């Protein structure tokens, strides 16, 4: 039960972090400083702290707002973001043509 949650969380966060600006910044810092261990430790600690803040905030919000409302709101937000991205890409596509 807890292993399933652990695995799901790991895969979700790992895939979300691949190719994002944090990874690109880490690559840049590592290649320009020649100190990959220091960059690894610094970026790992930063990710751990950011994740801790997210978990604490999520736990606090979950105590105040029912889960189904949080799921509904997050779904609506993702839909809005998706619609905006599709609209922007469509606008860019028509301008380029």
Residue 21 pLDDT: 83
pLDDT in tens, 57-94: 888 888 898 889 988 998 999 999 989 988 888 777 77
Same domain? For 45 and 7 the reply is yes
Task: Look at the chain and report how many structural domains it folds into.
Answer: 2
Check residue 96 and give its pLDDT.
61
Do residues 45 and 90 both lie within one domain? no
Residue numbers of the domain that contains 42: 1-64
Q: Do residue 10 and residue 55 come from a single domain?
A: yes
Rg from Cα positions in the chain: 18
For residues 94 and 97, give the distance between their C-alpha atoms in angstroms, rounded to a whole number.
5
Closest CA to 17 of 50, 41, 39, 59: 50
- Render pLDDT for 4-55 as a digit per residue (tens, 0 to 9): 988 888 888 888 887 778 888 888 899 999 899 999 999 999 989 998 998 8
Label residue 74 exposed, middle or buried (CB < 10 Å: 0-12, 13-18, 19+).
exposed
pLDDT at 97: 57
């Amino acid at each position: 039960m807890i292993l399933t949650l652990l695995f799901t969380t790991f895969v979700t966060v790992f895939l979300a972090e691949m190719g994002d600006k944090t990874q690109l910044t880490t690559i840049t810092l590592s290649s320009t400083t020649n100190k990959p261990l220091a960059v690894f430790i610094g970026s790992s600690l930063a990710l751990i702290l950011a994740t801790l803040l997210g978990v604490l905030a999520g736990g606090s919000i979950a105590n105040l707002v029912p889960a189904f409302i949080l799921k509904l709101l997050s779904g609506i937000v993702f839909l809005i973001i998706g619609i905006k991205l599709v609209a922007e890409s469509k606008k860019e596509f028509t301008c380029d043509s």
